[in-house]
Structure 1
Amino acid sequence: MVKLINRDEDDSYFSIAEFFIMKRFRRTGLGKQVAKDIFNMHKGPWEVYQIDSNEPAQHFWKKTIEEYTGGKFTERIEIGRKTQVFVS
């Protein structure tokens, strides 16, 4: 069973566990729509992070979250990863 969403230990925020779009479906808008649907199904605080070495993921998530929130999110840069924080 693949888990798409995690909750932190205190259930204070959601995070993306696994998210993968096959190459032939990338750049079609499918990934962005699925991400937005997930955010809409799980209302509340979110933290979505990407590892530093995955620049395509960083670009995808920042753009998707910026569009979804209308720019109302913050971004943390930590050692080894970037994290977008917002409320759906």
Structure 2
Amino acid sequence: MQEGREKWQIVPMAGMRDLLIYENLSQAYEAEFSSLTGCMPDHLGRYALQTPLDENHPGFLLMEGDIPLGFMVICLGEIQDVSEFYILPVRRRMGCGFFLAKGVFSLFPGRWQIRQIQGADHAVLFWRGVLDRLIPGGYAQALVEDPFWGFVTRQRFTLPTPTP
């Protein structure tokens, strides 16, 4: 089921419309992980954004025409970090996640890490699958302690700068 791939587009988040899309999709994302994070919605039923967008935390939407399918937010630094990643359940296992991850990674060569909280086994399997396709055997995975989330599974890898 890859009929939508030619219609997929990665769009850098900019402007109020994109921020609204990110905030809306984040509600489903935060709810999905709430049993692992312990996060609760506020008195209006809304979850707080874990990673607000700024110059050090750019975000990218995966679009199919004018319909958002997911997002990826990264943290720029000495080691780039995947801060947030979400694909609508209806579009999972269709290549959307790989398409988005590969596209964003290609924009930022260098050192990277991806972390998954304990219990997010499906996320660990997803990221290992992405990395096995992008850089077979080219990443290190470890269980490490994160100051905010406790123990997390972390993959670290380096993406080379493309040669012209």
CA distance in 2, matches of 1:66, 1:12: 23
Structure 2 residue 75 is matched with structure 1 residue 6: yes
Question: Could you report, residue by residue, the CA deviation over 1:1-57 in whole angstroms, capped at 9, with x for unpaired residues?
Answer: 3541102xxx21101111100011000001011101111111110011101111110
CA distance in 2, matches of 1:17, 1:75: 17
Give 1:50's aligned amino acid: Q
- 1:84 alignment partner, SS class: strand
Query: 1:85 is matched with which residue?
Result: 156
The Cα shift of 1:84 comes to 0.5
**Bigger-Rg structure (1/2):** 2
TM superposition outliers: structure 1 runs of 4+ over 4 Å: none
- Give TM-score scaled by structure 2 length: 0.49
Structure 1 residues not aligned, in runs of 5+ = none
Query: 2:113 is matched with which residue?
Result: 47
Structure 2 residue 103 is matched with structure 1 residue 32: no
Percent identity of the aligned residues? 25
- Give TM-score scaled by structure 1 length: 0.88
Q: Higher relative contact order at CA 8 Å, sep ≥6: structure 1 or structure 2? A: 1
Structure 2 residues not aligned, in runs of 5+ = 1-18, 23-58, 60-72, 146-150, 160-164
CA distance in 2, matches of 1:20, 1:48: 13
CA RMSD of aligned residues (A): 1.2
CA distance in 2, matches of 1:20, 1:57: 10
The Cα shift of 1:76 comes to 1.4
Higher strand share: 2
